[in-house]
Structure 1
Amino acid sequence: MSEGSLAASELPLTGSNLSYVIVAAVIALVALGFAFALVRAVLATGKGTQKMQEIAGAVQEGATAYLFRQFKTLGVFVIIAVILLFLLPVNEGGLSVKIGRSAFFVVGALFSAFIGGAGMALATRANLRVAAAANTGQGSRERAMQIAFRTGGVVGFLTVGLGLLGAAIVVLIYKGDAPTVLEGFGFGAALLAMFMRVGGGIFTKAADVGADLVGKVEQGIPEDDPRNAATIADNVGDNVGDCAGMAADLFESYAVTLVAALILGKAAFGEYGLVFPLIVPTIGVLTAIIGVFITRLRASDRNGLTAINRAFFISAGISAVLSAVAAWLYLPKNWSDLLGDSWRTALGLAPTDNLRLSPPVVAIIAVIIGIVLAAIIQALTGYFTEVDRRPVQDIGKSSLTGPATVVLAGISIGYESAVYSALVIGAGVYGAFLLGGGSTVLSLFAIAMAGTGLLTTVGVIVAMDTFGPISDNAQGIAEMSGEIDEDGARVLTDLDAVGNTTKAITKGIAIATAVLAATALFGSYTDTVGTALTKAKVTESLDQILNVSNPRNLVGLLFGAAVVFFFSGLAINAVSRSAGAVVFEVRRQFRDFPGIMNGTQRPEYGRVVDICTRDAQRELITPGLLAVLAPIAVGFGLGIGALASYLAGAIGAGTLMAVFLANSGGAWDNAKKMIEDGKFGGKGSDAHAATVIGDTVGDPFKDTAGPAINPLLKVMNLVSLLIAPAVVMWSVGSDKNTPLRILVAVLALLIIVVAVTINKRKPMSVASEEDIAAATNGGATPGDGSANTSEDAEAAKV
């Protein structure tokens, strides 16, 4: 039946389709059950020595305190967003839909927070157990890796389980109005994820950069040496950034892609379009379970990455086959059976137009495009960031000529990889678009289904990502405790190197999901605008309104690209400021407590944790306000066409910027690991110092600014989607109100200007008068445990 012949709220959900949605909800609960079972299995493993437990306990305490403080800060944003969301008009549905949208905004935010928090809580307990397992003799490599990966599996199961459960419940309750309600669900998830990504990224990289600059470069001590006051904060940061932040990021990608697929699916496939986008993620839940449990390290495997890649590609293949079978069995074979006799009208085709591909074939190819895209991005990212590949090897060789060439080589590799990744993602998007055969609605739905197909692998992807910080923390606990043998240390070093690569790979895949989700949301935006224009009885065509040759729209495109650069700059600058404060604090402790270096005095770890926590909460406000308010300023100020161009500019610039930042940072990190493993002089050499500097530049690239662009794109798309009816109504509709529209735009712009002005007035480096005096007058040289030379004094005065 044609969707156009029924109001959204009247769109039926018949017996068999109702059963499919219920099955999807049940399987989502099964995923949550598996998560609970894996939690018990992980916590039942050995916890190591008393000293290892004390170190892990300090990391747990710091991570938990940070996350609770962050949630208190974000609670204010959630309350304001709920009120504003309720006040915004909707194209379809009445008061119940507006209430549902606001209520499920809170649900999405809570789910995002819970996944991030639960993943971090388990990761801070699993890291200790991985370190203990690595110290158990023969078979320790296999046991340590299994604990780390299955901990990541818990987070993966929570992601797919809660995402699918939330979407299924909304469809069951609201039926045809479900896409509108799910806008709130996706927005809540995306908003929390963005703040957690930015805040966690600032915390982790401020601690990491500060620890490396003073510990490795100035004092010449190992990365996780307990004499470094920033080590606990560094390990805390791995969890609040990579575990909590990344888990929330991938959850919101999952939720937002489902939102776009259901909005476009209702228009393209009618009733079937409300169900099929749930069937594919349901298959993804099953393959996630398979993928996690088949990830086993064989004796013949060169390293853990071999086992992880094998499991990923097997689960991706299973997803492709099962999705194809489901599409063929579920969807009608003819367009008339799917949408009724008026199917051409429903798809925006001419009366004589025909589609060469049947509905199941369109769906099958779209889903497979997404799965193949994930596999290609994994291979491509791995090439640019793995230790034994030429790009990282080249950066390692460049360290022989100093830090400047290391930085240049990393930037070059980042730029090059961004081009290839953008071409691959663009090919995937365009390939899905071609499936529409001239129907824009169908083409956009195919893109959304490609994103859904990619996310059938998200359970394994999240496990891969969480594996990284757990391995990193395990090595840190082992090194700080000093209670692990040489073989155990080698196992943890190998796992850490694999974790660096898996983190880079999952960031690449997360970027691909962000682009597909943002593109699909862009299609949802145009669909929403078209409905609003029809409702407002506007005669001008949508194509005319969105024409980029209009100077107003071109300005919007430039603004969209500029916001990506500005957002990235704010995030990196925040890390720079906070890292400066950490550097001064660690130097102060080395200077004021001379017994630290010989082990007779204990560093004040809590001071650095407090600095990072304070700065992360303070610094995330401005980027967050920019992401939410910039689309409002452009939309109400320049109009609906300029806002569409703004989103296009942001997606284009964001794709390239995110890949560049992630891959250059990952390559620098593994080049440092390669030197530490003995290449080109090993630890303590000039080459090592050069790669440490490259890594400190790359840290905020790959773990703060780069990953934060993913939720940024989706937040801006969702804000635009939510305000589109109001922008149309106040600019060209029957309720046209130019003064009110301009007032909203000016107010949004004014808030951004005030926030940026306050941000720019903060000093580049936070230091006390005593620190500056010590750097100016005391001036000891690097390596003697006190403040640095007069060059630091100049930096402190900035």
Structure 2
Amino acid sequence: MAGHFTPLQQDHLLAVELTSGNRAIVAIIAVVAVAALAVAVVLLRQVLAAGEGTDNMKKIAAAIQEGANAYLARQMRTIGVFAVVVFFLLMLLPADDWSERAGRSIFFLVGAAFSAATGYIGMWLAVRSNVRVAAAARAATPREGEPAKDLTAVSHEATKLAFRTGGVVGMFTVGLGLLGACCVVLVYAADAPKVLEGFGLGAALIAMFMRVGGGIFTKAADVGADLVGKVEQGIPEDDPRNAATIADNVGDNVGDCAGMAADLFESYAVTLVAALILGKVALGDAGLAFPLIVPAIGVVTAMIGVFVVAPRASDRSGMTAINRGFFISAVISLVMVAIAVFAYLPSSYADLDGVGAGIAEHDGNPQVLALVAVAIGIVLAAVIQQLTGYFTETNRRPVRDIGKTSLTGPATVVLSGISIGLESAVYTAVLIGLSVYGAFLLGGTSVMLALFAVALAGTGLLTTVGVIVAMDTFGPVSDNAQGIAEMSGDVEGDGAQVLTNLDAVGNTTKAITKGIAIATAVLAAAALFGSYRDAVNEAVADASNVGSPLGLSLDIGQPNNLVGLILGAAVVFLFSGLAINAVSRSAGAVVFEVRRQFREHPGIMDYSEEPEYGKVVDICTRDALRELRTPGLLAVMAPIAVGFTLGVGALASFLAGAIGAGVLMAVFLANSGGAWDNAKKLVEDGHHGGKGSEAHAATVIGDTVGDPFKDTAGPAINPLLKVMNLVALLIAPAVVKFSYGDDSNVGVRIVISVVAIAVIAGAVYISKRRGIAVDDEEPETAASAGTAPKSSTDPAVVNT
């Protein structure tokens, strides 16, 4: 939109209240949300009723539980301080009245608490389910005196147990997300969108911290364990002689379970925030209820999807049963949404209560817009599911091609993985772009209706989120189950193969859910972009003098806006680089510690001495909590710096640049990492020389490179995009007030800009001063010569 923001759309100024009929609908939706929590409890009891296996397996599982609980407890204390600071900062931002300002801050804490609770519950159950899945697989190789069990039946039971663990997390995700949004709408009615901004920010901020921190923890342990154990010592993955194995298994839970559950919860919450903000403008009173009806349908279909995943004898693998549950859930969602659309919405915008003249006079059918927009989101989820599976499944050509390149060494493995990741990013980005554009076309001549259609597409995609979360949790539970089996030595033969197959399926489900999570992030960010536009419109309308229009224009031809676009893309690259470098530093510390234990305790190799697992867990915990601060500050401060320095137009361009670069970077990192991981699994299954071969060593190196790609930097981009969009949405009125209105205060603007830039620069500088991992002897030599400071990767520091 060229020129400056003018009050062309005054619909946002209308006083939209919740009618008694819509209030009753929202109350019913809240009951559906509570029902989801009840189903979660039922599933949880089913999972915990399963057997835990041998005493040795229980001992290993207990160590993983202890490490995961200790890490999350320390992480919550760290994040808690940050949350308190943001709570008071939100109180300072402009609002219509005190109740709205207080509600926004209070529900920021509610969103943060729900996000943290979702992540914690996911981790808590996963570390109890992993040993039960391993025990279920153990039945395939019965001991003397035990009856033999059918291998297929054992595999199906282990699959169902792992997936229902994810079902618990999925039900908590959709239940808490929907319940929180319903409570805000019931209490605040017309003011709900403003209060929901705080709810969404709380969910997104905590998810980003859990994603970054958990990702650094898990990949530092995983990379360190692989480099010393597999590559240097030549021992198998999850060998109990490797001191990093417990930390590796802990990391699967705090990264993939806790982090991804919180990530998808905030996607759920933030998409609802955007849909309700835009729905209030586009549909009037109905806009405060209909965006909740769609995810409520998703809750019901998620319940069906979770229970449908019951493997059959005819299934080729566990992935077949999981795909069946996903697609059945998606189809039922589409049918139920169609019924809801025609039963609830009128066929003309003029028949909607509370919409402005611009919308009421629009020539179109709200039923068609709503149904097609939601269908776009559901179809997008299904297509991305298949596309990601193509690039990451072990039986598809891309992964098999990477496996073949292992015959020529690690360099070609890395190159082929990068090329596949780059190629897959293009196709996924095009799909998401077409979906956004298709939804946009539904709005016709009304930009606000078009943006609302994009938000509805996001809610459509979220109808499958319960099953998506279950698919994601399936991955780390299967991975942990295989680790416990390997470390205990109590699961052999067919039972071990069952777990290997489950782990390969889990790698694919994790990659698929990352792809879908990226799509939700882009749709949510695009919808929030529209909300940002509306917030600026409102702020400009409230100001009697907007001054120069240059800072308000969205014309990309303006140099300040082009600079904002470039900065938005640059932040994604900087964020990714910081996350990967953090893994590198922490993994270096783990390598030093594991090497030290092998060197100083030679009895570890012949099992006469036991490794000190706790020291590696402590290293990963300390480094993860320290390293997450810089990416967190970057996400919050970058929009503030751009907005108060270059203006609201440049800030809008900044968000566009971040969305464009973010979707490509996130898919590239996730898919290349997933492909490398499964290429390693392919070789370990006996292809190209099998375990212990040079090809195996090459794929281990590829997988090591891919670990921080797919489990740290890539997934963390999702909450990064939404945090930056929400921060921009919240500060937009303040930027207008201090830059363009009668209350313009250049001094305040300059101070805020300088402080924000200084915080970013200081955080990055401190992060870079920590150095990177180097050769064993080099830090000691440098330190003794007084030429290098001590760092976390220095053996002397690690040992203390």
TM-score in terms of structure 2 length: 0.94
Query: Is the aligned partner of 1:606 residue 2:611?
Result: no
Deviations 1:145-180 (A, max 9, x none): 111000000000000000000000000000000000
| Structure 1 residue aligned with 2:378 | 371
Equivalent residue in structure 2 for 1:134, among 125, 134, 137: 137
Query: Is the aligned partner of 1:534 residue 2:538?
Result: no
| Structure 1 residue aligned with 2:296 | 282
Aligned mates of 1:542, 1:333 — CA distance in 2:
40
| Structure 2 residue aligned with 1:299 | 313
Aligned mates of 1:546, 1:116 — CA distance in 2:
38
Aligned mates of 1:541, 1:36 — CA distance in 2:
56
| Structure 2 residue aligned with 1:729 | 737
Deviations 1:664-688 (A, max 9, x none): 0000000000000000000000000
Aligned mates of 2:683, 2:408 — CA distance in 1:
14
Query: Is the aligned partner of 1:345 residue 2:358?
Result: yes
Secondary structure of the residue that 1:134 maps to in structure 2?
helix
Quick check: 1:3–1:271 contact (8 Å CA) kept in 2?
no
State the one-letter code of the partner of 2:184.
V
Aligned length, in residue pairs: 768
Deviations 1:281-325 (A, max 9, x none): 100000000000000111111100000001101100000110111
Distance 1:219 1:701, change over 3 A: same
Aligned mates of 2:468, 2:110 — CA distance in 1:
23
Quick check: 1:581–1:766 contact (8 Å CA) kept in 2?
no
Quick check: 2:552–2:648 contact (8 Å CA) kept in 1?
no
Quick check: 1:59–1:236 contact (8 Å CA) kept in 2?
yes
Query: Is the aligned partner of 1:319 residue 2:333?
Result: yes
Quick check: 1:85–1:102 contact (8 Å CA) kept in 2?
yes
Aligned mates of 2:73, 2:622 — CA distance in 1:
13
Equivalent residue in structure 2 for 1:108, among 108, 111, 124: 111
Aligned mates of 1:322, 1:772 — CA distance in 2:
66
Quick check: 2:359–2:446 contact (8 Å CA) kept in 1?
no
Distance 1:389 1:95, change over 3 A: same
State the one-letter code of the partner of 1:758.
I
Q: Root-mean-square deviation (CA), in Å?
A: 2.0
Quick check: 2:349–2:359 contact (8 Å CA) kept in 1?
no
**Following TM superposition, by how much is the alpha carbon of 1:769 offset from its aligned partner in structure 2, in angstroms?**
6.8
Aligned mates of 1:664, 1:533 — CA distance in 2:
45
Aligned mates of 1:439, 1:770 — CA distance in 2:
64
Quick check: 1:335–1:343 contact (8 Å CA) kept in 2?
no
Distance 1:425 1:204, change over 3 A: same
**Following TM superposition, by how much is the alpha carbon of 1:541 offset from its aligned partner in structure 2, in angstroms?**
7.1
Counterpart mapping for 1:772-791 below 5 A: 772=780
Aligned mates of 1:578, 1:277 — CA distance in 2:
43
| Structure 2 residue aligned with 1:405 | 412
Provide the identity percentage. 70
**Following TM superposition, by how much is the alpha carbon of 1:485 offset from its aligned partner in structure 2, in angstroms?**
2.8
Quick check: 2:134–2:481 contact (8 Å CA) kept in 1?
yes
| Structure 2 residue aligned with 1:240 | 254
Quick check: 1:581–1:767 contact (8 Å CA) kept in 2?
no
| Structure 2 residue aligned with 1:654 | 662
State the one-letter code of the partner of 2:480.
N
**Following TM superposition, by how much is the alpha carbon of 1:772 offset from its aligned partner in structure 2, in angstroms?**
4.8
Distance 1:767 1:184, change over 3 A: farther
Aligned mates of 1:61, 1:313 — CA distance in 2:
37
Secondary structure of the residue that 1:298 maps to in structure 2?
coil
Aligned mates of 1:319, 1:207 — CA distance in 2:
40
Equivalent residue in structure 1 for 2:77, among 72, 78, 91: 72
Query: Is the aligned partner of 1:504 residue 2:511?
Result: yes
Query: Is the aligned partner of 1:256 residue 2:275?
Result: no
In structure 1, the gaps of 5 or more residues are 777-791
Query: Is the aligned partner of 1:389 residue 2:396?
Result: yes
Equivalent residue in structure 2 for 1:97, among 77, 84, 100: 100
Quick check: 1:130–1:144 contact (8 Å CA) kept in 2?
yes
**Following TM superposition, by how much is the alpha carbon of 1:339 offset from its aligned partner in structure 2, in angstroms?**
4.7
Deviations 1:519-538 (A, max 9, x none): 00001000100111111135
In structure 2, the gaps of 5 or more residues are 1-7, 140-148, 785-793
Secondary structure of the residue that 1:506 maps to in structure 2?
helix
| Structure 2 residue aligned with 1:160 | 174
Counterpart mapping for 1:566-581 below 5 A: 566-581=574-589
Aligned mates of 2:549, 2:31 — CA distance in 1:
44
Aligned mates of 1:392, 1:49 — CA distance in 2:
36
Aligned mates of 2:526, 2:469 — CA distance in 1:
22
Aligned mates of 1:403, 1:411 — CA distance in 2:
12
Query: Is the aligned partner of 1:716 residue 2:724?
Result: yes
| Structure 2 residue aligned with 1:39 | 44
State the one-letter code of the partner of 1:455.
L
Quick check: 2:197–2:726 contact (8 Å CA) kept in 1?
yes
| Structure 1 residue aligned with 2:125 | 122
| Structure 2 residue aligned with 1:12 | 17
Deviations 1:547-581 (A, max 9, x none): 11110111011000000000000000000000011
Secondary structure of the residue that 1:301 maps to in structure 2?
coil
Secondary structure of the residue that 2:556 maps to in structure 1?
coil
Aligned mates of 2:467, 2:358 — CA distance in 1:
40
**Following TM superposition, by how much is the alpha carbon of 1:332 offset from its aligned partner in structure 2, in angstroms?**
1.1
Q: Which moved more, 1:186-195 or 1:140-149?
A: 140-149
Deviations 1:191-239 (A, max 9, x none): 0000000000000000000000111111111101000000000000000
Quick check: 1:127–1:473 contact (8 Å CA) kept in 2?
yes
| Structure 2 residue aligned with 1:780 | none
State the one-letter code of the partner of 1:49.
T
| Structure 2 residue aligned with 1:755 | 763
Counterpart mapping for 1:605-684 below 5 A: 605-684=613-692
**Following TM superposition, by how much is the alpha carbon of 1:763 offset from its aligned partner in structure 2, in angstroms?**
2.1
Quick check: 1:3–1:346 contact (8 Å CA) kept in 2?
no
Deviations 1:72-92 (A, max 9, x none): 0011110100000010002xx
Counterpart mapping for 1:415-434 below 5 A: 415-434=422-441
Counterpart mapping for 1:261-272 below 5 A: 261-272=275-286
Q: Which moved more, 1:762-771 or 1:438-447?
A: 762-771
**Following TM superposition, by how much is the alpha carbon of 1:766 offset from its aligned partner in structure 2, in angstroms?**
7.6
State the one-letter code of the partner of 1:126.
S
Distance 1:52 1:728, change over 3 A: same
**Following TM superposition, by how much is the alpha carbon of 1:755 offset from its aligned partner in structure 2, in angstroms?**
1.0
Q: Which moved more, 1:546-555 or 1:497-506?
A: 546-555
Secondary structure of the residue that 2:679 maps to in structure 1?
helix
**Following TM superposition, by how much is the alpha carbon of 1:140 offset from its aligned partner in structure 2, in angstroms?**
1.2
**Following TM superposition, by how much is the alpha carbon of 1:4 offset from its aligned partner in structure 2, in angstroms?**
5.6
Secondary structure of the residue that 2:138 maps to in structure 1?
coil
TM-score in terms of structure 1 length: 0.94
**Following TM superposition, by how much is the alpha carbon of 1:542 offset from its aligned partner in structure 2, in angstroms?**
9.8
Query: Is the aligned partner of 1:170 residue 2:177?
Result: no
Aligned mates of 1:177, 1:200 — CA distance in 2:
35
State the one-letter code of the partner of 2:159.
M
| Structure 1 residue aligned with 2:502 | 495
Distance 1:100 1:767, change over 3 A: farther
Distance 1:468 1:674, change over 3 A: same
Aligned mates of 1:23, 1:126 — CA distance in 2:
33
State the one-letter code of the partner of 2:314.
S
Aligned mates of 2:19, 2:596 — CA distance in 1:
69
Deviations 1:455-501 (A, max 9, x none): 00000000000000000000000010001131110110110000000
State the one-letter code of the partner of 2:221.
A
Q: Which moved more, 1:533-542 or 1:184-193?
A: 533-542
Aligned mates of 2:117, 2:730 — CA distance in 1:
25
| Structure 2 residue aligned with 1:786 | none
Aligned mates of 1:415, 1:735 — CA distance in 2:
48
Deviations 1:323-346 (A, max 9, x none): 111011100111110157x75424
